Structure 1
Amino acid sequence: MGTKWEYCTLKYKTGGWLGGKVDEQEFQDELNRYGYEGWELVSCFDTSQGQGASRDIIVVFKRQL
């Protein structure tokens, strides 16, 4: 049988209802925390609010079982 994986999805808030700016250090710290727990980043995308603003950042991680 092949390699087995588990997945984790993180919704990172960029601000209130209208979105906002990302605190880059806070976001990096959060990604590193998952990395230290053995999670590998697979995908990362934002949910558009309009006019270049983002409401949430969706991050998908995986790690081997």
Structure 2
Amino acid sequence: MKRWIYKVIEFDPKKSFMGGKVDCNNIEQRLNELGRQGWEVISNFTTNEGYGNTKKLVYTLKREEMINDEV
């Protein structure tokens, strides 16, 4: 039976006069780094402070747990 471990990561959008700007390059680099370690994105969502302003981008990732005899 497969067993999974999970990781939650957050990104803060850059603040600007007309709302947050997302640094897509930073997110892409971080997700690629985690992907090389075996992590897979299973969901993502945003949080906000009201009025539609994005406060955080939240990603949930999973990877298969390695059991001692599988290592």
Q: State the TM-score bracket (shorter-chain normalisation).
A: 0.7 to 0.9
Q: TM-score, normalised by structure 2?
A: 0.76
Using CA pairs under 8 Å that are at least 6 residues apart, name the structure with larger relative contact order, 1 or 2: 1
Long gaps (5+) in structure 1: none
* TM-score where L is the length of structure 1: 0.82
How many residues end up aligned between the 2 structures? 62
8 A Cα contact 2:14 2:23, kept in partner? no
Greater C-alpha radius of gyration:
2
* Structure 2: tracts of 5 or more residues without a match: 66-71
Q: After TM superposition, which residue ranges in structure 1, 4 or more long, deviate above 4 angstroms?
A: none
Question: What percent of counterpart residues are identical?
Answer: 32
Calculate the aligned-residue CA RMSD, in Å. 1.5
